Structure 1
Amino acid sequence: MSICYDKLWKLAIDKNLNKTQLRDCAGITSATLARLSKNQGVSLEALERICIALECNIGEIIEFKKRGEINEK
Structure 2
Amino acid sequence: MAVSYKKLLHMLIDKDMSIAELQRQAGYSANISTRLRNDTYISLESVEKICRVLNCKMDEIIEFIPEDGGSNNGQNS
TM-score by length of 2: 0.83
Segment drifting more, 21-30 vs 43-52: 21-30
Q: What does residue range 1-73 of structure 1 map to in structure 2 within 5 Å?
A: 1-67=1-67
Query: Which amino acid is the alignment partner of residue 65 of structure 2?
Result: K
SS at match of 1:42: coil
- Number of aligned residue pairs: give it: 69
Query: What is the CA-CA distance between 1:27 and the residue it aligns to?
Result: 1.0
Q: Provide the C-alpha distance between the structure 2 equivalents of 1:68 and 1:18, rounded to a whole number of angstroms.
A: 32
SS at match of 1:64: strand
* % same residue: 36
Moved over 3 A (4+): none
1:8-42 C-alpha deviation (Å, 9 max, x unpaired): 00111111101111111111110011111110001
Query: What is the CA-CA distance between 1:68 and the residue it aligns to?
Result: 7.4
Structure 1 gap segments, 5+ residues each:
none
Q: Provide the C-alpha distance between the structure 2 equivalents of 1:39 and 1:68, rounded to a whole number of angstroms.
A: 16
